[in-house]
Amino acid sequence: MTESAPLTRRTLVQIGGVSAAGAGALLLAACTPQGSGASGDGSGNGNGGSATVALSSIPVGGAVSAQLGSTPIVVAQPSAGTVVAFSAVCTHAGCTVAPQGKEFDCPCHGSRFDGTTGDVINGPASTPLTKLKANISGDKVTVTQ
């Protein structure tokens, strides 16, 4: 008998037999890094809650990484006082994108996304990042799905 291997995205896809909603949740969970510094509601899931980020921590023309439950997100400030937020889960293979100036770059396969719109700049990803709701109140930015 062989040692059991950890459950991977590929294994989940190969297993099949899971509802579309369940498969999406499982695949997202399989792609999420563990132990990331959370700034969310502590709910432990990416299906609700909110994340709070200090507006002053987001550079104008740049972005920061945060967590919405267990989902990695990016929060950008394209111009002073304007914020946008996106899931940081790359639409190509589920890796976590990182802010790089005015764009989000995926370290796995080189996909690049526009930091203002979430649109693909360079593939292999062909679908934009999932947009989230971002609201400013004082010096706090609250992000929800």
pLDDT of residue 82: 92
pLDDT of residue 94: 87
CATH no. for 51-144: 2.102.10.10
Number of CB atoms found within 10 A of residue 95's CB: 18
Using left for φ > 0, alpha for ψ between -120 and 50, and beta otherwise, residue 16 falls in left
- For the stretch 86-115, pLDDT in tens is 999 999 988 889 999 899 999 899 899 999
pLDDT of residue 49: 87
Top pLDDT among 65 and 47 is at 65
Q: Tell me how far apart the 2 most distant CA atoms of the chain are, in Å.
A: 60
- For the stretch 127-144, pLDDT in tens is 999 999 999 999 999 999
Extents of the domains making up the chain: 1-31, 51-144
